[in-house]
Amino acid sequence: MLLNLSRLRPVVAQATRVSRLHVVRRYSTQQVPKGTSAVTKLAAAGACIGLGAGIGYWVAKEKDTIPNAQDTRVLGSEIAGLKVPAVIPNTDYENEAKPAYYNDTATPMHQRMEALVLDLQDRLVVALESLEPSRKFIRDRWEREDGNGYGISCVLQDGEVYEKAGVNVSVIEGTLAPGQLRSMRERNPQTANKLNANEEYDFRVAGVSVVVHPRNPYAPTAHKNYRRFEVYRKSNKEAGPVLAWFGGGADLTPAYLFEGDVKYFHQTLKQACDAHDPQYYPRFKQWCDTYFTNIHRDETRGVGGIFFDDLEDKAPEDLFHFAYDAGSAFIKAYVPLVAKRMTMPYTLRERNWQLIRRGHYAEFNLVYDRGTKFGLMTPGARIESILMSLPLTARWEYMNQPEPGSPEAHLLEAVRTTTDWAK
């Protein structure tokens, strides 16, 4: 049940505090002359706004009163109290004893899926909390007002390691709205053949949805979602589902690119896929690259992972076991990366870039994500849980362009090309 982190060679920062820096953004790549007064520097910086020749930084020790509450935290001060654990719980799913629901074929599949998503939630929360010294997840159980289901939202905000992390479970049922039915039929011809546009259908879904936004800019954001969706004729629900499928996946969204971390993430997911079908990883990896794309920016949301939907190509039992392994593999693939990077020192430059990338993350979730759209179209939906994936803070800058050859530009190159990270 434990993963030895010594193999990952975690980066451990020295227990020194980063001096408080006040960074003024200017739109020129020229150096500010030494000896220039602060007033002259600010005036020159203001005069340069709008020239758009690039973005540089000049840095001066801050002596005046901090202008707002956000700046009172010394950048990176939280890393001094962080300790990288030797082991992380729940990262050895291959060797763990399988839970009772795993092979309980006498129980209906929707009940077993409910047990799975609750189990995945509990195991991930324990693993994430093993890194966070200051806070625990709050567990917010809620019931739908119409009585058709419940959810458990586990959320941690303003921690030392996690700025915002959510691990949500939803187990709900209801009637497909016309827009939902239309969307399902349009995206999959097989679904269109099985669902009549003029008929009413009920649905039942159990899923776990995860988004983690670490505080340190060098620690990547990650997302996971696994679910089973069943559709019934409203006029004859007792006959069983007309249609049932699995969907989900996991992907990584770093602000700064560490290629070894990305390869480890992909290779771990690939191992889980290969145990069930050697075609799953290349198929789902390409699907992920295509789906998680900000079309308006011509870039992927991050560096990918796996993604699948409407999966019904094998027996339900086989797909259920795949969902178990893939969902469990995420803990092993992701949490050690946070442990590896959470103690790295950083400055306002890295923080600002992290917030810009989070803005792009939010754009995808609000414009393109099907899960968000489905949730918002569901009558009686719990908006707080649907929008849990959004970062606590984000930033949009006009015409932001990193300096050529910079780490920020390197990240942009990665999200604008396709790479086989599992090699």
Active-site annotation, residues:
223
Q: How many CB atoms lie within 10 A of CB 217?
A: 25
- In DSSP terms, 150 is beta-bridged to 143, 171
- In DSSP terms, 166 is beta-bridged to 155, 211
Distance CA 255, CA 204 (A): 36
Cβ atoms of 181 and 197 closer than 8 Å: yes
Residue given tokens 């269109």 in the structure block: 192
Distance CA 236, CA 239 (A): 6
421: nearest Cα among 282, 266, 311 = 266
Cβ atoms of 28 and 5 closer than 8 Å: no
Distance CA 17, CA 75 (A): 9
Distance CA 201, CA 369 (A): 23
Distance CA 134, CA 283 (A): 40
